[in-house]
Amino acid sequence: MSEIFILVTILVFTIFLVLGIVSHFKRTSGKWIFFTLSALSFIVVIFMLFFQDWNLFDQSNNIKPPKVETPASGGQNNGPDPVKEEPPVKENPPPENPSEEKPDNPTPETPEKINVPADKLVNYQVEKGDTLYSIATRAEVTVVKIKQWNNLKSDTINVGQILKLYGSNIEPPPPAEPPKQDPPPTTASSVLISNGSLQKKEIALTFDAGSDAAGIAILDVLKKYNLKATFFLTGKWVEKFPNLAKRIADEGHEIGNHSYSHPDALKTPSGDFKQDIIKAEQAIKTSTGKSPQPYFRFPFGSYNATTLKTVGEAGYRYSIQWSLDTIDWQQPTTEVIVSRIKAGASNGDIILMHIGGINTPKAVDTVIPWLQAQGYQLVTLTELLN
């Protein structure tokens, strides 16, 4: 009821205030009476508001909870049964050691890196799930080195087997190759080869040298990754850049014969073509001290049965073609060369590039780690064909 009284009083205050204002503007005599009554009404409203603790419209303070008699008080409760509060549900307490809490689907642990100090030898015991490639990756060495260090003839390893891993400062030199002797003259045709085994993740990088040395920085890139490749040199290039030819040989790369003057074999008499091959071989031996046999590569990739017989008579058992051509001699951008390799790379590939490619070194520097990340081993032609 007090709320209704306050509302009525406010209404009265408003009416008196309006009448006083009207009387003031009409200059009648009753304006002060109306203002006085309006002020009294305002005082009453203020008093009632304080009396109600300023909760004029809050009805919740006026609602008293029903009294619930419990059996212990002895009273009777004819109303609905009181609602019993359930005890709060306790959440599972956190484990004492949060690090011991195991997720439902644990993430497989990444194999730890194999630490091989530069001046020490580490005997690593093969564990279940190990492969030569995974061990080489974790130890930051090549599969070829692990096989050399442990005299392995294949990629097969067994659980419990001990593998020797040498530090970079004490690793033994690669086994010395027996001196190569030129095979006796033969009438057998040279065997044409375009790729290695399609079952092995191996790729051979090959580079032709015919005109200039704009991309000779390829040697720096291969040295950076400790890789060996195969270079097919023409006799004229060797005579023009004898120091570079010797550097290729001294850094352990394989060398093949790419003819002396880069003629088209299909347009050159057999006798002249054979002499061109022999002349190139002599120039290569003079500059490098090594024979380019048994590998020959046709200029322009141009050949037929007759030219294969001519190459065989010159002492070259294998005529090496390619399965992936970067066409870098046209001087495309680095990105184009890289995209061609990424799009076409597959098991047993022989990739064709050129020392004269201006953007070839940068492309090779980009693509080597990508190929290795795909699981490919970058090898020489001899390793690929074996």
Q: Which DSSP string corresponds to 221-248?
A: HHHHTT---EEEE-HHHHHH-HHHHHHH
This model's pTM is above 0.85? no
**Which residue from 314, 232, 216, 227 is spatially nearest to 273, judged by alpha carbons?**
314
Between 30 and 81, the higher pLDDT residue: 30
Q: Are 325 and 352 in contact (CB under 8 A)?
A: yes
Compute the distance between CA of residue 9 and CA of residue 122 in angstroms, rounded to an integer.
100
**Token couple for 172:** 């033994």
What per-residue confidence (pLDDT) applies to 259?
A: 97
What per-residue confidence (pLDDT) applies to 184?
A: 52
pLDDT of 99 strictly over 50: no
pLDDT of 338 strictly over 90: yes
**Which residue from 23, 58, 42, 358 is spatially nearest to 212, judged by alpha carbons?**
358
| Beta pairing, strands 230-233 & 254-257 | parallel
**Token couple for 205:** 């990088």
Q: Quick: pLDDT tens for 247-291.
A: 999 999 999 999 999 999 999 999 999 999 999 999 999 999 999
DSSP letter at 104?
A: S
Task: Give Cα separations from 288 to 213, 237, 279, 291, 309 (angstroms).
Answer: 17, 13, 14, 8, 27
Mean pLDDT across the chain: 82
Q: Are 323 and 349 in contact (CB under 8 A)?
A: yes
**Token couple for 72:** 């212990």
Residue 244 CB contacts under 8 Å (≥ 6 apart), including other chains? 213, 216
Compute the distance between CA of residue 208 and CA of residue 210 in angstroms, rounded to an integer.
6
> DSSP labels for 37-92?
HHHHHHHHHHHHHHHTTT-TT-GGGGPPPPP---GGGT----SPPPPPPPPPPPPP
Residue 196 CB contacts under 8 Å (≥ 6 apart), including other chains? 202, 204, 347, 348, 349, 350, 384, 385
Q: Quick: pLDDT tens for 226-246.
A: 999 999 999 999 999 999 999
**Which residue from 247, 300, 258 is spatially nearest to 281, judged by alpha carbons?**
258
Compute the distance between CA of residue 167 and CA of residue 197 in angstroms, rounded to an integer.
32
* Least confident stretch, 16-30, 58-72, 128-142, 367-381: 58-72
Out of 130, 208, 328, 365, the active site residue is 208
208 is catalytic: yes
Average pLDDT over residues 25-37: 68
Exposed / middle / buried, residue 125 (Cβ in 10 Å: 0-12, 13-18, 19+): exposed
Residues 266-297 as b/e (b if ≥16 CB within 10 A, e otherwise) read eebeeeebbebbeebbebbeebbebbbbbbbb
What per-residue confidence (pLDDT) applies to 57?
A: 45
**Token couple for 221:** 């890139």
**Token couple for 191:** 């065997």
E strand map for 121-264: 121-125, 162-166, 191-193, 202-209, 230-233, 254-257
What per-residue confidence (pLDDT) applies to 313?
A: 95
Average pLDDT over residues 314-326: 96
Out of 130, 262, 354, 365, the active site residue is 354
Compute the distance between CA of residue 132 and CA of residue 155 in angstroms, rounded to an integer.
6
